[in-house]
Structure 1
Amino acid sequence: MKSAPTHLARRRAAVVAALALALGLAAGRVAACGAAGGIVQAASVDQRGEIALADGRTLRIAGLDLPLPSRGDPALAAAARDLLTKRFVGREAALSLVVAAADRWDRALGDLVAPVSDAAPASAAEALIAAGLARVRPEYETRGCEAGRLALESAARAKGLGVWRDPDYVVLAADDAASLARRDGRFVIVEGVVRRIGLGRARLYLDLGGRGALSVVASRKTQAAFQAAGAPLTALAGEKIRVRGALDSRFGPQLEIVDPLMLERLGRAEAK
């Protein structure tokens, strides 16, 4: 009579031990990306990539820009959902929370880590980024996650995986005024050469071209943070940079950067 409960208890213990090992192997990045939130089970994944947990909570994988069915190739959103479903639904996984409280839509913010056979454990976010099914979207809560995620994104982009083949998600040129105009209010990734640096009383402007080109805006209060991160804003003239964030076209295309991880230095531009 006791064999079944004992067997289930042992199976549960084995699963927990496997997940503990997974977290141990991934300890560096999990510690940087959030705090342990216990063992959970995913019940389903919706079209936005949000994960319904068996305990009734909804998890948003923080710090990602996921493809949507209404934007670009709808097959990309389906592929992202399929990846999460196959890897996590019906399986127990370790929850990593980047913030203790739920957001205003009552969603938990974090990531899931599950053991993967014959490979290092990968989190949901890492798996999506590596497959080209998500872009890194800087958020304050995921600051500790982004350096590793950007490396995975760079590899996927170089291979042209997933969203990196879709014109709706690719990196934009800073002087492509037409493409920028179509993306007002959207999260974008843009590359260009810093042609001019303007200093205002409260803000600093990096102009990446002439009329219609992107201007990158930063509060002068953030200069010290960029300096400490090796990206002194006032010394970027002539350099090619990549920036990411929400595009605001009310006064010409502008993108405000508030964290050094929103800007990548790509080297000096060749003289023309």
Structure 2
Amino acid sequence: MRRLELCAAAVVALILTANAPAMAQERCRLASAEPGAHLTGLDRHGYPLTANGTAMRLVDLRVADIVAADALIARARPAYRVLAESQPDRWGRLPVQAILDDGRPLAEVLIDAGLATVDPGTGAMLCAPELLEREARARAQQRGIWADEDNRPLSARDTDRLAAREGEHVLVEGRVVSVGERARATYLDFSRRWRGGFTVIIPEEIWRDLLERGIDADYLSDRRIRVRGVMLDWRGPAIELAIAAFIENLETGSSP
């Protein structure tokens, strides 16, 4: 069974990992490193601490096990670099990427250990979409937080459990029953019930991005996918897609 899980994780096809736009690559460019710039730990909310007290956030991930991740960072004291083209978020936090002394990105280490999940936060894209595959492997092997069943992906059909997670960042898996394209948003429904079933809301600009890559209503209809985001109460449990890469194809066929 474990071999099957690992194989399934290995063949997860990410819809939007290839051919990243040049603009996205530019926005993920790192500024020059400052001498002595390193992280010293995490605060109680999972945000990085530095010797000079600069407010920061880690790019591409949400720390889930703050105690274990803080101990790792305090021990390793990884160097960090700020994204060159990014501005502080509304809380004044600068987006940073950190590297351990052995050259490994801190994001990969935390994801591999099951101490963090993939999440761009207030960013509009992932700088390292391959982290989704690493997270899938950690989840299949039940490392870190994935050993707890409550942290694993929820079924799109289990609406009671979904509703109980309102306000939380969750992963949901299921088969798309219908796709409704509207002027300001597109809706992926996972039930034939108009009210009460799980829905993914895709804002207009993200839907445009998907269409440009050949991912349309026909492609998504009747396809098993995984999505992630904050659970909302709309006409039932719902997630509003934050970035296009947060639709993952769970089919074994080829991706566009």
- Output the TM-score relative to the length of structure 1: 0.73
Query: Do the aligned partners of 2:31 and 2:84 also contact (CA within 8 Å) in 1?
Result: no
Relative to structure 1, is the Cα distance of residues 31 and 99 closer, same or farther in structure 2, using a 3 angstrom cutoff?
closer
* Counterparts of 1:197 and 1:144, CA distance in 2: 25
Greater relative CO (CA pairs within 8 A, separation 6+): 2
Relative to structure 1, is the Cα distance of residues 201 and 224 closer, same or farther in structure 2, using a 3 angstrom cutoff?
closer
CA drift at 1:192: 0.4
Relative to structure 1, is the Cα distance of residues 45 and 175 closer, same or farther in structure 2, using a 3 angstrom cutoff?
same
Aligned to 2:153: 171
* Counterparts of 2:87 and 2:45, CA distance in 1: 21
Pair 1:195-2:177 in alignment: yes
Aligned to 1:260: 244
Aligned to 1:136: 118
* Counterparts of 1:268 and 1:153, CA distance in 2: 18
Give the match's secondary structure for 2:110: helix
* Counterparts of 1:154 and 1:244, CA distance in 2: 13
Aligned to 1:52: 49
CA drift at 1:197: 1.9
CA drift at 1:146: 3.5
* Counterparts of 1:100 and 1:203, CA distance in 2: 27
Identity %: 30
Aligned to 2:127: 145
Pair 1:156-2:153 in alignment: no
Pair 1:43-2:40 in alignment: yes
Matched residue type, 1:53: T
Single out whichever of 35-44 and 152-161 deviates more from structure 2: 35-44
RMSD: 2.6
Structure 2: where are the runs of 5+ without partners?
1-24
Select the structure of larger CA radius of gyration: 1
Structure 1: where are the runs of 5+ without partners?
1-29, 68-75
- Output the TM-score relative to the length of structure 2: 0.77
Matched residue type, 1:110: V
Pair 1:216-2:200 in alignment: yes
Aligned residues: 225
